[in-house]
Amino acid sequence: MDIVTQTPLNPGDSPLVREALSSVVSRETSATPTAAQTPDGGDGTWPRPSKTRVIAVANQKGGVGKTTTSVNIAAALSMHGQRVLVVDLDPQGNASTALATEHRGDVPDVYQVLVDDLPMADIVKQVPDMPNLYCAPATIDLAGAEIELVSLVAREARLRRALAAYDAIDLDYIVIDCPPSLGLLTVNALVAADEVMIPIQCEYYALEGLGQLLRNVDLIRAHLNPTLKLSTIVLTMYDGRTRLASQVADEVRSHFGDTVLNTVIPRSVRLSEAPSYGQSVMTYDPGSSGAMAYMDAAREIAHRAPVV
């Protein structure tokens, strides 16, 4: 198979360096991916759910791929006929950055929706060049929401109320990117959502703290949102060269069974590069291993839904 070389090779590089660079590129992008590998998969528009699916992407451990998963799953779904809203609930605003949505200065954001009762419709923006994808941005102001929400009435249900008032009749998915904590922002996401998606990194500490998250999900189901369910676990940052990654994956699958997607998300340079260009990896490099993995993961999610 021919290889598309996207990393320029310096004529002065040693043969060893040139071979290593070529190896990295060949793992990332192939010139002629098979039909099963291509981002569109050759299967056109995916089935639409019978009602809007509200999915909170949560894990209190940082650096496990929550934002990367939220953005790329949303982008993949939108590219197959689904109308998707990404709600950035992380004060860092990384999902907003990746979706090229302004979130600095005095831009109306999720903070004003939660604290000041600003209508959600006033902050939602269409993502450039992605006609089916929308973003509700987060600014650094959201960092203060944890404290300010404490004194408000029905503080745990502020986001649910805002989404209920938002005209989401044409939306197929609402994906909520949670912060790396189990504070009030994440609680708001879990109360507003129907489903929880948990990205789990394929490394040693992956399962540490997961028990606390699951206990919180159970508490919210018991007291605030009886319809909430753990619907999806995504294995991220998978390195097939290590025995540890496969051991973690096997352990997660043995505990959670069919809740775990068949698709695993590999480590990929392109996944890290894409946000710096204000893009998801789906548009930045659709032939990369990361883009094809997220496309397959999104396909699994779409076909698991009850359809119209």
pTM of the model: 0.84
Instruction: Kindly list the averaged pLDDT for each block of 10 residues, start to end, along the chain of length 308.
Output: 40 42 37 36 76 94 92 96 95 92 86 93 93 93 88 90 85 95 93 96 82 91 94 92 89 91 93 91 93 96 75
Quote the distance between the C-alpha of residue 129 and its chain's center: 19
Rg (CA), the chain: 20
Q: Is 47 helix (H, G, I), strand (E, B) or coil?
A: coil
The reported pLDDT for the residue numbered 33 is 35
**Would strands 133-136 and 125-126 be described as parallel, antiparallel, or unpaired?**
antiparallel
Which residues, listed in sequence order, are joined to residue 124 by a DSSP beta bridge? none
Integer CA distances (angstroms), 301 to 3, 80, 195, in order: 31, 12, 11
The reported pLDDT for the residue numbered 144 is 87
- C-alpha dihedral sign at 190, 274, 296, 250: negative
Please answer whether residues 232 and 83 qualify as being in contact, where contact means their C-beta atoms are separated by less than 8 angstroms: no
Please choose, from the candidates 94, 125, 109, 139, the residue with its C-alpha nearest in 3D space to the C-alpha of residue 275. Answer: 94
